[in-house]
Structure 1
Amino acid sequence: MSWLYLGVAVVFEIAVGIAAGKARGFTHLGWTLATLASGAVATVFLSRALLTFDVGVGYALWTSLAGVGIVVIGALFLSQRLTWRKLLGVAVVITGVVGLNLAGAA
């Protein structure tokens, strides 16, 4: 169940990143509210996941997976350019997430 909680937290953290970008420095009220609400939901589900995960591992998984998700969504839907350097960075992050997960299971 903790993986489900973490997955929901990641989805809402991705929403935070997208909404924060659209909020334009919190000058657009609707996007600002979406940012804050998504952040609150993400934090609630993260805290549920952290009942099982070590805090450091769970938090690192949450932020890393959300970061990769935002990069992918940006490339697919927001016309953001995905260079080989960004792809390399994503690969490094994914490698780190897998390593943390394996280390956390020991």
Structure 2
Amino acid sequence: MYWFYMMVAVIFEIIVGISAGNANGFKQFWWTAITLTSGVIATYFLSLSLLTFDVGVGYAIWTSFSGVGICVFGVIFFKQKLNIKKLIGILIIMIGVIGLRIC
């Protein structure tokens, strides 16, 4: 169940990243509302997953998966560029998180 909580937390953190980018410094009301609401939900589900994960490992998983998810959404929906250096960076992040979880 803790992986489910973590994935929900990651999904809402991805929403935070995307909506915060569109909130224009919190000048756009609806994007700001989405950012803040998603942040609360993401933090809540992260806290549930941290009942099982070590805090450092859980937080690393959450931020890493969220960051990779935001990169992927940026490429798919916002026409951001994905080059070999970014791909290598994403791969390194994923290997690091998997290594943390295995140890």
TM-score greater than 0.5 by the shorter chain: yes
What percent of counterpart residues are identical? 56
Q: Which amino acid aligns with 2:92?
A: V
Q: Which amino acid aligns with 1:95?
A: I
TM-score, normalization by structure 2: 0.98
Q: Which amino acid aligns with 1:11?
A: I
**5 Å matches for 1:86-97?**
86-97=86-97
The secondary structure found in structure 1 opposite 2:18 is helix
1:57 corresponds to: 57
**5 Å matches for 1:1-106?**
1-103=1-103
Aligned residues: 103
Shift in Å, 1:2 = 0.3
Shift in Å, 1:83 = 1.1
Q: Return the alpha-carbon distance in structure 2 between the equivalents of residues 27 and 100 of structure 1.
A: 39
Unaligned ranges ≥5, structure 1: none
Shift in Å, 1:10 = 0.2
Shift in Å, 1:30 = 0.5
TM-score, normalization by structure 1: 0.95
CA RMSD in angstroms, aligned pairs only: 0.5
Shift in Å, 1:76 = 1.1
Shift in Å, 1:94 = 0.6
